[in-house]
Amino acid sequence: MRVYEVLLYFVVVPTSACRTNLLEALAREVKALRKENEEIRKELAELRETIERFARMNAIPAKASEKTEKTPPANETKEPAAADEDFDLFGSDDEEEDAEKAKVVQERLKAYAEKK
């Protein structure tokens, strides 16, 4: 029986015995609601603790990565300006390397063909 049903019967039924039964039913309903309310509060507190724990776990790696990103490398050395002048814009060194690679590939293909 719900609270509103009990109240409706309380108003309609005039006898004292019925009213006593209805009041007892109302008291049981209130007691059950209080118990349910307490259980919900406990579950809510557990959920909050779990959420806070996950938030702390996610915050720790973020703080650690911030610390590592902010620290500059200790062994960083600047190269002299002359090193910039040695930069090959047209890739002439690459042509020499390509010729060497082509020679190695040809030798391997020749060795493979001889194996067959």
Contact 28, 37 (CB under 8 A): no
What confidence score (pLDDT) does residue 97 get?
75
User: What average pLDDT does range 87-115 have in this prediction?
Assistant: 79
Range of the domain at 10: 3-74+81-115
The count of structural domains within the chain is 1
Q: Which residues contact 23 (CB under 8 A, 6 or more apart)?
A: 10
**Is the pLDDT assigned to residue 46 strictly greater than 70?**
yes
Q: Which residues contact 7 (CB under 8 A, 6 or more apart)?
A: 26
- pLDDT band, residue 19 (cuts 50/70/90): confident
What confidence score (pLDDT) does residue 52 get?
93
**Is the pLDDT assigned to residue 12 strictly greater than 80?**
no
Q: Give the pTM.
A: 0.39
**Is the pLDDT assigned to residue 101 strictly greater than 80?**
yes
Spell 37-60 as b/e; 16+ CB within 10 A means b.
eeeeeeeeeeeeeeeeeeeeeeee
**Is the pLDDT assigned to residue 18 strictly greater than 70?**
yes
In percent, the amount of the chain with pLDDT more than 90 equals 28
